[in-house]
Structures are given as C-alpha cells and as structure tokens.
Amino acid sequence: MALSRGLPRELAEAVAGGRVLVVGAGGIGCELLKNLVLTGFSHIDLIDLDTIDVSNLNRQFLFQKKHVGRSKAQVAKESVLQFYPKANIIAYHDSIMKYALIIMLQNYVSARNHVNRMCLAADVPLIESGTAGYLGQVTTIKKGVTECYECHPKPTQRTFPGCTIRNTPSEPIHCIVWAKYLFNQLFGEEDADQEVSPDRADPEASCEYSIWDIFSYLYVLSLSC
C-alpha cells in the first residue's frame, strides 16, 4: 500500500503525478526503487547499463541467482512490479529535460560529472548519492540554489568499487588495480600468524590451491561479508 495516503493532498498529487529518473540499479538503486513506489511515485524511468553478477546478490535484493547475466534495469523493473503492479517503470535512454527530478546512484566519477552538467544545463534538480566502504553521502543539487557536484575539485580517485573493476572495467586503471589484486592473491606473502596448509607443501598442488583460494574468496567469502 502506498504511503502517500498520509501526505497532504497537494503533495500526494504531486508525488503520484511526478515523473522521476533513477540512474543506477545497484545497492542503493534497489532500495530506492522500493521506497519510491511504496511512497506513491508511479512514473519512474530507470537507467543502468550494467548486468547482474553473482557478487551483487548479497546486497541488491531485487535480483536472484536466476537473473545473473541479465540487465539490471529490466530485472529491477520486473521485481518491483511483482509487489507493486500499479507502477509505471520504463528502462531506456532518453532526454533528461522532461523529468521533474533526477536521482544519481552511479559509482563512476565521470558519469556523475556528466549527469551533473546535463542537469545544470536543463535546470533539473539532481539528488546525488553514493557509498565508499562504510561511508555514504547524499546531496541535493539545484541550479542557482546549491553548489553543484563539480563546484569543488575532487581528489584523484585512488580506490575503486570491487563490483566496478570486477564486472565492468571501463578504464585501463581498473584493469591494473584488479590485476594487482589478483597477483597479490596468487603470490602475496602469507600472514606469519596463520598456520601453513599441508596442501602448500606440495609444489604440484600449490597452483591448484591458489586458484581455489581465489575462487573461494571472490565467490564465497566476499559474498558472506
């Protein structure tokens, strides 16, 4: 049941009739889509160029194992319609000028910069949010009222979301960071406080053990965190 029934009539009508663009259907995007439709937003356009990976399943609750490999935007739409069939959700690319509000949930700094500039040019309010480790932030950006995303120079990005460099690397630095991570998993020094596994004493088994160690970390331990 939509929560808009508890809102003032004028606000409830604005919510029901407003059209919202959501950019990104990841961890924050899944939660936001649920909250938007339960609040009463019925007209939502969703953009996400990524596909679902098994590593997404522990936090992006609109996706299931059977959805791996499919479009995040399309599956998110299907999942929301299962519990709120009245919602009108469309996943596609289009001009942002027709939207009353845009919500940005992407990890890429370049994508944030681009959407920020497009919203300023079209004079469309932007809600920009993101996470980094245990930290999170959300900012409202309105032309002529607040600072924009690029009003202050951003420090050079030195860390990258694991889901980005693992699933959809788009820059050479992503591949370099991921390669260094895998190299350390294969050949990094062991913790002196840990016991040595008997399997590692066998040279013929060391390669197989290392590969299994990486597989176990990426698809078992990381999903249980």
Tell me how far CA of residue 45 lies from CA of 40, 76, 103, 147, in angstroms: 14, 11, 10, 26
> How buried is 203 (Cβ within 10 angstroms: 0-12 exposed, 13-18 middle, 19+ buried)?
exposed
- Chain centroid to Cα 62, Å, comes to 12
Beta strands 19-23 and 101-104 are parallel
Choice among 30, 119, 163, 207 that is catalytic = 163
Q: How far is the C-alpha of 25 from the C-alpha of 60, rounded, in Å?
A: 8
> Between the CA atoms of 47, 49, 55 and 56, what dihedral angle is there, to the nearest 10 degrees?
10
| Cβ atoms 21, 11 nearer than 8 A | no
Question: Does 163 qualify as catalytic in the annotation?
Answer: yes
122 is written with which tokens? Answer: 């079209």
Active site residues: 163
